[in-house]
Copies of this chain bind each other. A is one copy, B any other.
Amino acid sequence: MKEAEIVEVIKGAFGSLVAPGAYELADDAAMIPPVIGHRARVVTTDVVVEGVDFDLGLYPAMYAGYRALAQNISDLSAMGAFPVGFVWSLAIPPPWLERERIAELARGAAVLAKLRMAPLFGGDLSATSGPLVVSITAFGDVEGVPIRRAGARPGDFLWLSGPVGGAAAGLRVLRERQRAGPSPEPFEAWLRSLPDALASAVRAHVMPLPGDPAVLASASAAMDVSDGLAIDANRLAAASRVRLELEDLDSALAPAATHEDALHGGEDYALLFTAPPSARVDGLRVGRVVEGEGVWQRGARVEAAGHDHFARLLHLAH
């Protein structure tokens, strides 16, 4: 079963109990009532699993905490929402029942919580015999209505809030370090010793900065690039029933990143959005919206190949 099939099974089981604000479970976050004045409240939830969504063989625990919250803040940003706060729950295995390790994980989330003014509202803990599982639910407020994936119109320009591919390039550097074997050098000292482009890529992986929702002021549609531009742009194209032409991806490549990293890497947490040509936009213009379907680059279709949690799981299982 693929992720999309599981979502369909869940939608079927809940039927009319899927809230209208849940947008058919297809957007980055949901709108929860009530709308107060011109402000809507949105909510998003993400779960990350050690060994599947993060790898503590590659970086210290604090980055796992940071990245777990970054995913959620990014989903809020994708709806145009500024964080109000978050709750988290941890399923903790025995090796993690150690004060400094838990503290490090929490401090990582606190770094981003402080940067984005997203306080902690609570949490829950349970034990597990399996890998560490961190589940975060974040709330945000948006002026006006949340920005959805549907809404791009032919004629709009296609934008990114920041460079992409850095997280995948950084992962490559991290894996090279791991292959070289255990090192007595502290992670941060190693990071400082790297050439600028590589250090920037590693930072993009371990401390990605979610896009600023303010850039979406004129956006017609938006989402965050979490699974790679190829799969995410195809999702936006499908939701908006348009064709996206990638024209200038080069200008949006992160240091050390290749086109492949940008298209299929994921975890960059930049915002991908569309806006009318007349809009003043603070971002990187990478293409345009035309009639049709799918994502195209230089006359060739960019297929929606990317990350599926359960493809990976089946790989782990077999």
- Give A residues with C-beta under 8 Å from B: 1, 3, 5-7, 9-10, 12-15, 17-19, 21-22, 25, 29-30, 32-34, 36, 43-49, 51-53, 84-85, 87-94, 97-99, 102-103, 106-107, 109-110, 113-114, 119-131, 133, 135, 137, 139, 309-310, 312-314, 316-317
Establish whether residues A18 and B137, one from each chain, have CB atoms under 8 Å apart when the complex forms. Answer: no
Q: How far is the CA of A36 from the CA of B33 in the complex (A)?
A: 11
15 A–B contacts, CB within 8 A, in A order? A1-B97, A7-B123, A17-B110, A22-B119, A25-B122, A32-B139, A43-B139, A49-B91, A49-B130, A52-B128, A87-B137, A89-B135, A94-B316, A125-B310, A129-B130
Measured CB to CB, the closest approach of chain B to A294, in angstroms, equals: 25
Which of A49, A84, A94 has the most B CB atoms < 10 Å from its CB? A49
Q: How far is the CA of A46 from the CA of B317 in the complex (A)?
A: 27
A103 surroundings in chain B (CB, below 8 A): 9-10, 12-13
Establish whether residues A87 and B17, one from each chain, have CB atoms under 8 Å apart when the complex forms. Answer: no
A121 surroundings in chain B (CB, below 8 A): 19, 21-22, 30, 32, 43
Q: How far is the CA of A113 from the CA of B73 in the complex (A)?
A: 27
Establish whether residues B45 and A88, one from each chain, have CB atoms under 8 Å apart when the complex forms. Answer: yes
Q: How far is the CA of A51 from the CA of B127 in the complex (A)?
A: 10
Given contact pairs A6-B97, A93-B313, A130-B130, enumerate 8 new A-B contacts (beta carbons under 8 Å).
A10-B106, A14-B110, A22-B120, A32-B139, A52-B126, A91-B135, A124-B135, A126-B309
A48 surroundings in chain B (CB, below 8 A): 126
**Residue in B closest to A135 when the chains form the complex, CB atoms:** B135
A14 surroundings in chain B (CB, below 8 A): 106, 109-110, 113, 119-120
Establish whether residues A13 and B84, one from each chain, have CB atoms under 8 Å apart when the complex forms. Answer: no
Establish whether residues B87 and A10, one from each chain, have CB atoms under 8 Å apart when the complex forms. Answer: no
A1 surroundings in chain B (CB, below 8 A): 97-99, 102
Measured CB to CB, the closest approach of chain B to A130, in angstroms, equals: 1
Which of A36, A85, A119, A121 has the most B CB atoms < 10 Å from its CB? A121
**Residue in B closest to A127 when the chains form the complex, CB atoms:** B313
Q: How far is the CA of A163 from the CA of B103 in the complex (A)?
A: 39
Establish whether residues B122 and A90, one from each chain, have CB atoms under 8 Å apart when the complex forms. Answer: no
Measured CB to CB, the closest approach of chain B to A218, in angstroms, equals: 26
Establish whether residues B92 and A6, one from each chain, have CB atoms under 8 Å apart when the complex forms. Answer: yes
Q: How far is the CA of A134 from the CA of B135 in the complex (A)?
A: 9
Q: How far is the CA of A52 from the CA of B107 in the complex (A)?
A: 27
**Residue in B closest to A128 when the chains form the complex, CB atoms:** B49
Q: Which 6 A-B pairs have the closest CB atoms?
A: A130-B130, A127-B313, A13-B106, A135-B135, A47-B89, A137-B137
**Residue in B closest to A36 when the chains form the complex, CB atoms:** B36
Establish whether residues B124 and A94, one from each chain, have CB atoms under 8 Å apart when the complex forms. Answer: no
Contact of A32 with B84 at beta-carbon distance under 8 Å, contacts A9-B99, A114-B17 already known: yes
A53 surroundings in chain B (CB, below 8 A): 126
